Structure 1
């Protein structure tokens, strides 16, 4: 089969949707090489399009109209190129597919990551909510199949867009290979020295925004002898966190970083004493998976998708309850045996998200179409 991908996020997003797109394409190319995979994008960002392998499997808009209005090409005119390339199935990796695929006899699949903009509309500008809702509703209605990245997201699609359950398949996200290799004590020592970190620390990874909800953790460690390391891009919410830190003289207890290389980040996960992820809502929560693969015990939110991602051996708390977060951290810090047990059982649980299983599941869906 010839599979075409909407690869805008593959090339232009460094985290989130970009990681999902790159990991899925990598997994399919490795485990199901009998198919051909073509990536369609308006730009290639920092990627070297002259790389022979990338050049062979990447398509950019051509001609005056398509290059002058690349978003029009992505939304509609791309179908002409898909037909020319004899694409059997087009897969929208980030909640969108172009119009006209059915008329061109091209099967379609769309991956829906989450419907946060509908579950928590207060976090989005009204215009953005309107655009997302229009795009996602069209994709869910027009696509032949829908991939939900979790059971939680599947239920949201059914509930909010009234899509029949039998049209939706759940395929969990893969995870970058860097998190799956055992890190040496020397590697851990080196990253801590480079970043100026103490021997033990809590780790949180993700954009520093209200939905990710890191402020309650900062408040929870105020009287605990453990620092917090936060890796992520700051937003306006970051200033609220900084203000609390300054008011309570916690500058030496909270470290902020961004822009780490993937291998550095993976070593940091493995070096952390506990990974904490108090997010209010996610489509899946890939940082939880990264922590489990790294052998690091996880504290996360008890509602929504988080138990689905964290499994039976992670620790679950009310993300808004500061005392509950405080007690969970304190308890695990005092119980080395419990942390080791969580690490061992978490690593066993996370094998369900291995690349070969993702590839097998996705390949079966393509073949059925």
Structure 2
């Protein structure tokens, strides 16, 4: 099979949708090398190698107009390139597919990550909600198969777009292989010295925005004798957290950090005593999986997708209840038996997200569509 990917996020996004795209293509190339995988992107950024293999598997817009109006190319003009390249299936990796695929007899599948803009509309500008809704609605109604990254996202697609259950497949996402390797004490100590990290700490990773709810963790650990590290890009919400930290004199115990490589981040996960993730809503919650693979106990939200991602051996809390979050952290820190059980059984649960299983599910789906 020849499979074409909407690779805009693959090349241009360094987190979230970009990580999903890069991981999935990597997994397929490794475990299903019998297929051809072609990545279509409106532009490139960063140090992508212009090797013969890169040129063979990557396509950019051709012609002056397609380069000037690259969004239009991605929305419809790309179909001519797909036909020229004899693509059997086009895979929209981030909730979008171009118009004109059916008319040109090109099969399609779209990955839907979440419908946050519909669940929490106040978090988005009106114009953004309009654009997302238009693109997503077209994709789920016109793709030959819709893939949700969780049962929660599947339910949301059925609720908001009226798509029947039989048209939606659930295929979980994996995580970067860096999180699946055992870290040595030397690796941990070197990183600790490099960034002056504390010997023990609570960890939170993700975009620092209201939906992720990191402020509740700050308030929960305020009276606990253990540092907190929050890793994510600076936002207005992060500035509010920083102001609170200064107001309460917590500068030596609570740290907001960013800029780590994936390998460094995986070591930090493995160093943490507890991973706390009281997000209000996610399509899946990949940081939970990263923590489970890293052998770090997880405290997360007791509803939505979170029990699906965290499994039966994570600790679930009401994300708005500071006391519950504090009690959960204290319980894990004060019970080595509980912590050990969460580590061992959490890692066992995470094996369902292994690369080989994800590749098998996707290859079966592609084959069925063709």
User: Within 1, Cα distance between the matches of 2:47 and 2:91?
Assistant: 21
Partner of 1:316: helix, strand, or coil? strand
User: Within 2, Cα distance between the matches of 1:57 and 1:249?
Assistant: 53
User: Cα distance, 1:343 vs. partner?
Assistant: 0.3
User: Cα distance, 1:193 vs. partner?
Assistant: 1.5
Please say if residues 209 and 234 of structure 1, whose CA atoms lie closer than 8 Å, have aligned partners that are also in contact: no
Please say if residues 42 and 61 of structure 1, whose CA atoms lie closer than 8 Å, have aligned partners that are also in contact: yes
User: Cα distance, 1:49 vs. partner?
Assistant: 4.4
Please say if residues 314 and 342 of structure 1, whose CA atoms lie closer than 8 Å, have aligned partners that are also in contact: yes
User: Within 1, Cα distance between the matches of 2:190 and 2:203?
Assistant: 17
User: Within 1, Cα distance between the matches of 2:286 and 2:348?
Assistant: 17
Where in structure 1 do 4 or more consecutive aligned residues deviate above 6 Å? none
Match of 2:120 in 1: 120
User: Cα distance, 1:44 vs. partner?
Assistant: 1.7
Match of 1:290 in 2: 290
CA RMSD between the two structures: 0.7
Match of 2:155 in 1: 155
User: Within 1, Cα distance between the matches of 2:49 and 2:268?
Assistant: 31
Unpaired runs of 5+ in structure 1? none
Unpaired runs of 5+ in structure 2? none
Instruction: Tell whether 2:134 aligns with 1:134.
Output: yes
User: Cα distance, 1:174 vs. partner?
Assistant: 1.3
User: Within 2, Cα distance between the matches of 1:180 and 1:308?
Assistant: 20
Match of 1:323 in 2: 323
Match of 2:242 in 1: 242
Partner of 2:103: helix, strand, or coil? coil
Instruction: Tell whether 2:12 aligns with 1:12.
Output: yes
User: Within 1, Cα distance between the matches of 2:102 and 2:4?
Assistant: 14
User: Cα distance, 1:51 vs. partner?
Assistant: 2.1
Instruction: Tell whether 2:357 aligns with 1:357.
Output: yes
Partner of 1:103: helix, strand, or coil? helix
User: Cα distance, 1:168 vs. partner?
Assistant: 0.5
User: Within 2, Cα distance between the matches of 1:125 and 1:349?
Assistant: 38
User: Cα distance, 1:235 vs. partner?
Assistant: 1.2
Instruction: Tell whether 2:108 aligns with 1:73.
Output: no
Count of equivalent residues: 369
CA deviation vs aligned residue, 1:123-155 (integer Å, no higher than 9, x gap): 111111111011100000110101100000000
User: Cα distance, 1:264 vs. partner?
Assistant: 0.3
User: Cα distance, 1:67 vs. partner?
Assistant: 1.1
Please say if residues 11 and 47 of structure 1, whose CA atoms lie closer than 8 Å, have aligned partners that are also in contact: no
Match of 1:167 in 2: 167
User: Cα distance, 1:198 vs. partner?
Assistant: 1.4
Instruction: Tell whether 2:203 aligns with 1:203.
Output: yes
